[in-house]
Amino acid sequence: MSNFKNIPSIDLADFISGDSKLKSEFVKNLGRAYEEIGFVAIKNHGLSDLLCKDLYSQVQSFFELTVEQKKKYEIKGSGGQRGYVSFGKEHAKNRNEGDLKEFWHFGQTVLDNDPIKSQYPQNVKVTELENFNKVGEQVYQKLELAGKEMLRAIALYLNLDENYFDAKIHNGNSILRPIHYPPITSEPKNAVRAAEHEDINLITLLMGASADGLQVMAKNGDWISVTALPDQIVVNVGDMLQRLTNNKLKSTTHRVVNPPKEKWGTSRFSIPYFLHPRAEISLDCLDSCISEDNPKHYEEITAGAYLDQRIKELGLK
């Protein structure tokens, strides 16, 4: 166990080491963590300290721009899929209070001749910050690679072919979302930085946040605080993977709570990477995850239709 307080820590280098014993140990530990808590901490994920610091500094500079400057990058009618989403716009499913956050979306850059390119809006270029887009794209690509390896391990755990997910996530609709939780200036009525929710996607890779606040719900309903270690990222199961595995792997409920009053004056930054498959991929439960003890819990739906449904529930469409 690591300082993640109840979140197991494993080393991605073991999985890609070429050593079959280390690899199968990684797969077993990962699967156990995902069945029990749905969250795991990963070392050696391929993101350098330098690149992380670089992105954090770019992101901080962006959110320090004036409201007028940031609003230029808010694209009307796009469901917030690219560019800027202003403070309080998004709320958790089944809640009306907007979360106390503003954020940015970097999306997929299609580099081959894949016709899927026509489905994606262009990434939005920030003119005030020369390196903002370049650094965002570099981090996106690194996390996409780490996510691909994680899904290979998950495939093996589910007794699927190791490359089962590769084609399904190639040029997938993944999102890198730098989030700014601004200082809290007055007593929030019911709003929190991010109300309890589950992620929509297959898996989420979360770069260490700049301050505490992330909590995950344990099986017994207790909230466990998660503090990221500098050299690790947290990777959790999303609803799409829970659906695919017919609830075998858990999409854990988590939230970002407001800090104690003496820390209200501080900002919090957090950068999750939401790994999505391609829109046409079916999320129908895997046959291997359906049994007498675990009958099929979900109707078939495509990843694209499911995402659309969920974006509406979040108040972004």
228-275 pLDDT, tens digit per residue, is 677 889 899 999 999 999 999 989 888 878 777 877 887 888 899 999
* pLDDT for res 301: 96
Domain of 217 in residue numbering reads as: 9-313
- Which range scores top for mean pLDDT: 11-15, 41-45, 48-52, 267-271? 11-15
For residue 299, being part of any structural domain is answered with: yes
Q: Does residue 3 lie in a domain region?
A: no
Q: Which of 10-14, 19-23, 220-224 has the lowest mean pLDDT?
A: 220-224
Of 21-35, 150-164, 205-219, 291-305, the range with the lowest mean pLDDT is 205-219
Report if residue 4 sits inside a domain: no
Give the pLDDT mean for 71-75: 92
pLDDT given at position 287: 94
Question: Is residue 141 over pLDDT 70?
Answer: yes
Q: What percent of the chain has pLDDT over 90?
A: 62
Tokens of 93: 């499913």
In a domain, 73, yes or no: yes
Residue 291 has pLDDT above 50, yes or no: yes
Q: Is residue 210 part of a domain?
A: yes
| Residue 2 belongs to a domain | no
Residue 97 binned pLDDT confidence (cut-offs 50, 70, 90): low
Question: 59 lies in a domain?
Answer: yes
Band of pLDDT at residue 306, cut at 50, 70 and 90: very high
> 100-114, 121-135, 175-189 — which is least confidently predicted?
175-189
pLDDT at 1 over 50: no
Residues 121, 29 contacting (CB under 8 angstroms): no
Whichever domain contains 140, its CATH number is 2.60.120.330
Tens of pLDDT, residue by residue over 162-193, are: 999 999 999 999 999 999 988 877 777 666 66
Count the domains in the chain: 1
Please compute the mean of the pLDDT values over residues 120-138 and round it to a whole number: 96
Q: Is residue 1 part of a domain?
A: no
Least confident of 107-121, 160-174, 201-215: 201-215
Predicted confidence at residue 4, as pLDDT, reads 43
The whole-angstrom separation of Cα 289 and Cα 36 is 16
> What is the arithmetic mean of pLDDT over 55-60?
94
